[in-house]
Structure 1
Amino acid sequence: MTTTVRMPAAEAVGRRAAQILDMMREHPGWERLNGSSMRYSTCWATFTGYPTVAQWSLERDAAPLLVEAVRVLALKAAVFELTGGDEEAAELLVPAPVDEMVHAVLAQFTLMSQMQADLGVIFPHATELEDFGYTSGCITDDYYTAAGWGVPPARYWLDAAEVDRRLAILNAHYGSVGIGRGGRSHDLTFSPDGSPQLAAV
């Protein structure tokens, strides 16, 4: 993140983020938000975020990742508010697995819009400003800890260098079955009987 704005103090962000998260939990749409965010799991499984978690399992990891995602949304909302609406400042460094769950939550557009209106809070997210350069000990961690949530769980809060290392391993495996560019292309054809086959080179 390259912002020209002076980032707000950790104590202020942490205090406000904790308040925002409490408000979200008290909102009548909270349970629906949790359920809806995980309901269409087959739609938001990807090649480059969730699979970087060791021994990734949707059934085991979806709920804890959802906890991290709503915390991130509260932190980003607090920074956005405390900087007078600066989207760049609010686009905090977040690891890929957590960011993917943030997308799953924000996909509940109607509910999130209603929650924003009811709470008087904006949950900013600008894809063009995303930077996956998260490293432990950065300002995001300071904000997270100041909110009273302890230390971000290392299982999901992976440093960018470790994500890159794991992606290289994953891409080698993907490539062996014809899947390229982190799942953004493949060399598979589909035969009339429905079986996938590698295209002839």
Structure 2
Amino acid sequence: MATSTTPEATAVGERAAQILRAMQAHPGYERLTSSSMKYSTCWATFTGYPLVSQWNLDTDAAPLLDEALKVLALKAAVFELTGGDEAAAELLVPAPVDEMIHAVLAQFTVMTRMQTDLGVVFPHATELERFDYVRGCATDDCYAAAGWGEQPLRYWLDAAEVDRRLAILNERYRGAGFAPNGRSHAHIFDEAVVA
């Protein structure tokens, strides 16, 4: 029976490190990473990557992709160790990392092959996502137990910092005619654009 409790961090970390190494050794890994990087024209939301200070696709995409792959390995380990508990596997992660996870999971064919070949499931349940990641939570413990060191704080933003940055961005979005979080605008594209 699923428990919705994160298993012991050492077990998750050890299994996640094995999964990540298996992903990296898989014949589809290069396609997965290069395809995820080519997805740049469809990646961005108003509430994920823009939270990164001085975000730059050229310099931030590769390190953020590394973080997304590590989180996918962690989530797969939790999913496996809990007997398929999606709620437990939906670890707390900051929005910029989650956005890159979506770019990776959009590579459906190669991810499906990788899951089948490796015998793991890379779970992702949007309805279970919560953006209340805080430093020192179970996700951090599992990440450290995998032997990956400390997360780059440039991308691993605490929920309070995310809220602070979103408030700044939403003020700027409003000035450009966008509703909060970029969820709507009133721009009419059939009319001439006035500079």
Q: Match of 1:94, as an amino acid? A: V
Say whether residues 1:112 and 2:111 are aligned partners. yes
Say whether residues 1:187 and 2:181 are aligned partners. no
Q: 1:169 & 1:161 partners in 2: Cα distance?
A: 13
Could you say which residue in structure 1 is the equivalent of 2:129? 130
Q: Secondary structure at the match of 1:154?
A: coil
Q: Match of 1:62, as an amino acid? A: A
Could you say which residue in structure 1 is the equivalent of 2:167? 168
Question: Greater shift after overlay, 172-181 or 97-106?
Answer: 172-181
Could you say which residue in structure 2 is the equivalent of 1:7? 6
Q: Following TM superposition, by how much is the alpha carbon of 1:82 offset from its aligned partner in structure 2, in angstroms?
A: 0.3
Q: Following TM superposition, by how much is the alpha carbon of 1:69 offset from its aligned partner in structure 2, in angstroms?
A: 0.2
Could you say which residue in structure 2 is the equivalent of 1:150? 149
Q: 1:192 & 1:167 partners in 2: Cα distance?
A: 30
Cα deviation code 1:161-201 (max 9, x no counterpart): 100100000000010010112111012122444x269xxxx
For structure 2, the 5+ residue unaligned runs are: none
Q: 2:5 & 2:35 partners in 1: Cα distance?
A: 36
Correspondences of 1:12-161 after superposition (within 5 Å): 12-161=11-160
Q: In 2, are the aligned partners of 1:188 and 1:196 still within 8 Å (CA)?
A: no
Question: Greater shift after overlay, 36-45 or 66-75?
Answer: 36-45
When residues 196 and 132 of structure 1 are mapped into structure 2, their CA distance, relative to the original with a 3 A threshold, is farther
Q: 1:52 & 1:165 partners in 2: Cα distance?
A: 10
Q: In 2, are the aligned partners of 1:190 and 1:196 still within 8 Å (CA)?
A: no
Q: Secondary structure at the match of 1:28?
A: coil
TM-score scaled by structure 1? Answer: 0.93
Aligned-pair identity (%): 70
Q: Following TM superposition, by how much is the alpha carbon of 1:40 offset from its aligned partner in structure 2, in angstroms?
A: 2.4
Q: In 2, are the aligned partners of 1:54 and 1:155 still within 8 Å (CA)?
A: yes
Cα deviation code 1:82-135 (max 9, x no counterpart): 000000000000000000000000000010000000000000000000000000
Identify, as 1 or 2, the structure richer in strand: 1
For structure 1, the 5+ residue unaligned runs are: none
Q: Secondary structure at the match of 1:188?
A: coil
Moved over 3 A (4+): 3-6
Cα deviation code 1:23-72 (max 9, x no counterpart): 00000000000000010211111211000000011111000000000000
Cα deviation code 1:126-174 (max 9, x no counterpart): 0000000000100000000000000111000000110010000000001
Q: In 2, are the aligned partners of 1:189 and 1:196 still within 8 Å (CA)?
A: no
When residues 170 and 22 of structure 1 are mapped into structure 2, their CA distance, relative to the original with a 3 A threshold, is same
Q: Secondary structure at the match of 1:67?
A: helix
Q: Match of 1:143, as an amino acid? A: C
When residues 175 and 20 of structure 1 are mapped into structure 2, their CA distance, relative to the original with a 3 A threshold, is same
Q: Match of 1:30, as an amino acid? A: Y
Cα deviation code 1:9-35 (max 9, x no counterpart): 111000000000000000000000000
RMSD: 1.4
